[in-house]
Amino acid sequence: MFKMRSVKEAGLFMWETIKITGVFLFLLICSVQDIKEKQLSVKTLVLSGILFLGLSLFFDRISFAERMGNMMPGMAAFVIAFLTKEQIGYGDAACLIILGSVLSVDSLMRAVMCGLLLLSLCGAVLFLGKKADRKTTLPFVPFLMAGVLWQVFIWERGSL
């Protein structure tokens, strides 16, 4: 039977739905850019970052410290990008910061770990099949998107 929700519950459900949809659209756009152009559009990153952070500030009731903690994986990725001369790109790091504005650090780290595992498996298959060598670069965002899909539908069962 259909159960009536309070206005607050309905608002939270709507925010979760908007958040999941927005994250997937953002990652889909970034995945296409990452595959085709091997870089992410600064305009897309800035606009998405402002939109996600603004909506998160309005709808998510978390402290400033927690929000900054959620963005730490992306900030760490910027440091790694600098130290490794962009073995991981600045766009990937910016993408992680943007996702950190709407995802918990736990959700983001599980998605990143799943994405890295899938990226490693794909790289190993390509390397063993002689389709890639040590210098071959692979786009990370499509694998991150797969990690977020796994996070939402397998781990969290429909929420972020």
The per-residue pLDDT for 125 is 96
Asked, for residue 15, whether it belongs to a domain, the answer is yes
The arithmetic mean of pLDDT across residues 87-101, rounded, is: 95
Asked, for residue 160, whether it belongs to a domain, the answer is no
Asked, for residue 117, whether it belongs to a domain, the answer is yes
Q: Do 22 and 54 form a contact (C-beta atoms < 8 A)?
A: no
1-5, 21-25, 47-51: segment of lowest average pLDDT: 1-5
* CA-wise closest residue to 73 among 152, 150, 147, 158: 147
Asked, for residue 88, whether it belongs to a domain, the answer is yes
Q: Do 160 and 20 form a contact (C-beta atoms < 8 A)?
A: yes
Neighbouring CB atoms inside 10 A of 48's CB total 24
Which helix (H) or strand (E) covers residue 127, if one does?
helix 105-128
Range of the domain at 38: 7-155
The per-residue pLDDT for 9 is 75
Asked, for residue 1, whether it belongs to a domain, the answer is no
The per-residue pLDDT for 152 is 86
The per-residue pLDDT for 59 is 87
Asked, for residue 113, whether it belongs to a domain, the answer is yes
* DSSP assigned state of 87: S
E strands in 34-143 = none
The per-residue pLDDT for 2 is 54
pLDDT tops 80 at residue 147? yes
Number of separate domains in the chain:
1
Asked, for residue 148, whether it belongs to a domain, the answer is yes
The arithmetic mean of pLDDT across residues 102-120, rounded, is: 95
Give per-residue pLDDT as tens, 38-67.
999 999 999 999 999 999 998 888 898 999
